[in-house]
């Protein structure tokens, strides 16, 4: 008479572990096609921080200050800085600002005045369906990030 023990064999456990390892390796790349939301959010925060710094510079120095965005090279430059700051490569960037601040088809600026006001505008960073709008109020110069899923 033979007795049967219930349970799994070592071979069965190894097969299941191998299948789990393969699925773990294949599934994450499917969700991160074209860049990550974290990169996009970091880019939006970087632009917002640059805008806030430009406003602060204008108020403290009592002189106009600008943040100039280049949508083609995906970068921005604060007035007085020598080196532009880069934004995520996969991000689509658009700028809505005063017509007088548009330099050319790929370059535009948002200007801040000594009283804290600005020309106002909106910078949009997008990757696929995910978008972040960075709004600048023309009257107060306040900067706000709006997350649109």
CA distance 39 to 11: 42
Quote the pLDDT of residue 145.
Answer: 96
Which H or E element spans position 147? strand 143-148
Quote the pLDDT of residue 6.
Answer: 78
Sheet holding 130-136, edge to edge: 92-97, 121-127, 130-136, 143-148
Sheet holding 65-70, edge to edge: 85-86, 75-78, 65-70, 107-112, 102-104
Kindly state whether residue 53 falls inside one of the protein's structural domains. yes
CATH of the domain at 99: 3.55.40.10
Kindly state whether residue 15 falls inside one of the protein's structural domains. no
Quote the pLDDT of residue 2.
Answer: 66
Kindly state whether residue 10 falls inside one of the protein's structural domains. no
Kindly state whether residue 12 falls inside one of the protein's structural domains. no
Kindly state whether residue 52 falls inside one of the protein's structural domains. yes
> Terminal CA-to-CA distance of the chain, rounded, Å?
65
Sign, CA dihedral 6-10-15-19, equals: positive
Question: pLDDT 10s digit of each residue in the chain, 149 long?
Answer: 666 777 888 888 899 899 888 888 877 655 555 557 889 999 999 999 999 999 999 999 999 999 999 999 999 999 989 999 999 999 999 999 999 999 999 999 999 999 999 999 999 999 988 999 999 999 999 999 998 86
Domain of 83? 37-148
The number of distinct structural domains making up the chain is: 1
């Amino acid at each position: 008479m033979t007795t049967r023990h219930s349970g799994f064999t070592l071979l069965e456990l190894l097969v299941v572990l191998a299948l789990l390892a393969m699925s773990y390796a294949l599934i994450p790349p499917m969700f991160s096609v074209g860049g990550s939301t974290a990169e996009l959010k970091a880019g939006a925060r970087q632009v917002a921080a640059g805008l806030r710094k430009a406003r602060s510079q204008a108020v403290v120095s009592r002189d106009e200050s600008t943040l100039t965005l280049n949508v083609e090279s995906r970068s921005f430059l604060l007035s007085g800085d020598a080196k532009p700051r880069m934004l995520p490569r996969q991000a689509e960037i658009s700028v809505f600002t005063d017509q007088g601040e548009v330099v050319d088809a790929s370059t535009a600026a948002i200007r801040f005045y000594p009283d804290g006001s600005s020309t106002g505008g909106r910078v949009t960073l997008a990757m696929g369906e995910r978008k972040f709008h960075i709004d600048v109020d023309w009257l107060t110069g306040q900067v706000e990030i709006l997350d649109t899923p």
